Structure 1
Amino acid sequence: MSQILKRYDLDKLAVATIASHTALQILRGAKKYGFRTIAIAKNEDIAQFYKQFFFIDEVWTGDFSNFRKTAERLVAENALLIPHGSYVEYVGWRQALEAPVPTLGCRELLRWEADQYKKMALLEEAGIPIPRVYRSPTEVDGPVIVKFFGAKGGRGYFVAKGREELEARLKALGEEYIIQEYLFGVPAYYHYFASPVYSRIEVFGADIRYESNVDGRTFGWAEPTFVVVGNLSLVLRESLLPIIHKYGVQFAKAVERRVGCRLAGPYCLESIIKDDMSIVVFEFSGRIVAGTNIYMGYGSPYSVLYFDKPMDMGERIAHEIREAAKAGKLDQLFT
């Protein structure tokens, strides 16, 4: 990728992403900072929606089952690719690792993100408190949550109150899963930005996921499910911020040690805050998360602490790209 970046015309850079998830804020931020913008849609119906926005210069339809052709076309257009959850799910981590286009962040982390056990091992390596993981239903001695591999937005996740219920439900499963201790407390999802330009980890925002039957008005009549339908804004107690920042830094160091590349750009730690104010992290996302959409257009509550003006995450990405291009550091941002 460094060789491709050397051939790029830095005065004519384009920013591209898949037309879903956080594409609107990514491309709006890129256009605000003077970049040409490209959205890549799954089909023509989706393409038509994105074509209405003035800040998107081009909307393509792409074959996600064979993404290499699209990646090569992006390189021909001097484009930088911003990955997000829909990119990981639609294209798949294997194609994402091999796509011959400069991609924001630690690309190898997508392999770890696709495997729930590797995820937990990396968090443990970082010294961050995590829930108990059960390798077998016979180990279970309390309530658990079962999660599938990949970026599925909570689809298919379920809870079981004990071993017998768990064993009965696992018989029907046909895909890879992990069994975790079910934690009691408040969910909180922390948005970070790893900046090679400023040599720092920023706490940029936080959100709560709004999840179908868990948060909907089912009154015990429906099975709890965890499909994310939206996100709610969250401003954290200030006394929590030092430990949240500490965990973000520890995670970045663990990625460098275990995965072998430096974090760059947005990432997220997903947690439960217990009633004693301790934080247990049960997931991570090594790229931008949809929860950052909550402050699109008016900026996160923490961005003003770093820049003395509000920024959303799309603008923050574009700002980093612009400054990295000026400083000759694009190869520290894109892999």
Structure 2
Amino acid sequence: MGTTVATYASHSALQILHGAKGEGFQTIAFGKARVRPLYTKYFPVADTFIESDYPEDELLERNAIIIPTGSFVAHLGVELVEKMKVPYYGNKAVLRWESDRTLERKWLEKAKLRLPMIYRDPDEIDGPVIVKPHGARGGRGYFLARSPADFWEKAGRLGIRDKEDLSEVQIQEYVVGVPVYPHYFYSKLNRELELMSVDRRYESNADAIGRIPAGEQLGLGLGTNYTVVGNIPLVLRESLLMDVIEAGERVVKVAEELMGGLWGPFCLEGVFTEELEFVVFEISARIVAGTNPFVHGSPYTWLRYDEPVSTGRRIAMELRQALEEERLGEILT
């Protein structure tokens, strides 16, 4: 039986499976019964759909390789993903560093990226901050605060009542700038970094509030929420491209020292300030949903490949190369 590409039916599964089929792989989607038609009828990218949250035995029988997504990791949890027996594309050791904001910051600081200041004590807040729970949540649970009193009032909605609960969140300086999410692919086989695409997110209700006049916003007493509902393609000024490429190169280099490497797709999430400084506030060490607008490729992949290459297809291209060169073990954990 040949190698099969499998992924959880959510997040960026359509793109992953479409790219795998483009490279000649059999494909499996697994997940909730309700979404089966999405992957088999409306967008027929899954050769097989399994109604299960994680059908380990069946995936092993079908010689499957799991392509992780944010939904897959968030749904199963880091501990289960670390223990699963099905071959996994990427380095599982990265998951701990990505899901713990303290470890994540150590990684990004060592890569010498410009990061927002962190407040250890909410009573020291002296300007706008954004408060983020740990782990991949698609922006859910994030909130803005401008003072200690404002923090404690809003934190109570998340069940944070005193300083002993602060281990559940990170309090970051809110840096004013244009949100920018560059998507990368690092080929472990070729030892090359590629810039795949760039997006910005459409978040509810942070973006929707801007459609309400300021005077009415105040009267409504709306709280800001950053749950991602969609992604918008973005093409950066050409003069900024080396800034994001060099940031990606440094992150990959430090990952080799800290956890044995980062390979495959990842994303640095940040903003460009009015001084055109790239400030990074976190990393997603896997494919992100912001790559979904680029199923037919992006300006950057067209420039490199001169044909449509999505991030999903680039993963499949790496798997195909590994099979042909008998190096599959180098890129799976």
Fold shared, TM-score > 0.5 on shorter chain: yes
Structure 1 residues 59 and 214: CA distance shift in structure 2, 3 A:
same
What's the offset of the Cα at 1:249? 0.7
Contact map agreement 2:129 2:173 (CA 8 A) in 1: yes
1: distance between equivalents of 2:137 and 2:158?
15
Match in the other structure for 1:45: 34
What's the offset of the Cα at 1:332? 2.2
Is the deviation greater in 320-329 or in 269-278? 320-329
TM-score (norm 2): 0.92
Match in the other structure for 2:26: 36
Counterpart of 1:214, as a letter, is A
Contact map agreement 1:134 1:140 (CA 8 A) in 2: yes
2: distance between equivalents of 1:49 and 1:316?
22
Aligned to 1:272, the other structure's residue is in SS state: strand
Match in the other structure for 1:111: 96
Is the deviation greater in 70-79 or in 267-276? 70-79
The answer as to 2:316 corresponding to 1:324 is no
2: distance between equivalents of 1:207 and 1:31?
25
The answer as to 2:169 corresponding to 1:177 is yes
Is the deviation greater in 196-205 or in 77-86? 196-205
Counterpart of 2:243, as a letter, is I
1:1-335 matches, within 5 Å, as: 12-41=2-31, 43-52=32-41, 53-63=43-53, 67=54, 70-174=55-159, 176-216=168-208, 217-219=211-213, 220=217, 221=220, 222-259=222-259, 261-296=260-295, 298-335=296-333
Contact map agreement 2:104 2:282 (CA 8 A) in 1: yes
What's the offset of the Cα at 1:306? 2.3
Aligned to 2:126, the other structure's residue is in SS state: coil
1: distance between equivalents of 2:276 and 2:293?
24
What's the offset of the Cα at 1:49? 2.7
Alignment root-mean-square deviation, CA: 1.4
1: distance between equivalents of 2:253 and 2:74?
26
Q: Tell me the number of residue pairs that the alignment of Structure 1 and Structure 2 aligns.
A: 317
1: distance between equivalents of 2:225 and 2:157?
16
What's the offset of the Cα at 1:102? 1.1
Contact map agreement 1:94 1:111 (CA 8 A) in 2: no
What's the offset of the Cα at 1:73? 2.3
TM-score (norm 1): 0.91
Note the residue ranges of structure 1 that are not aligned, 5 or more in a row: 1-8
What's the offset of the Cα at 1:218? 4.2
What's the offset of the Cα at 1:163? 2.1
Aligned to 1:20, the other structure's residue is in SS state: coil
Aligned to 2:280, the other structure's residue is in SS state: strand
2: distance between equivalents of 1:28 and 1:59?
14
2: distance between equivalents of 1:195 and 1:282?
24
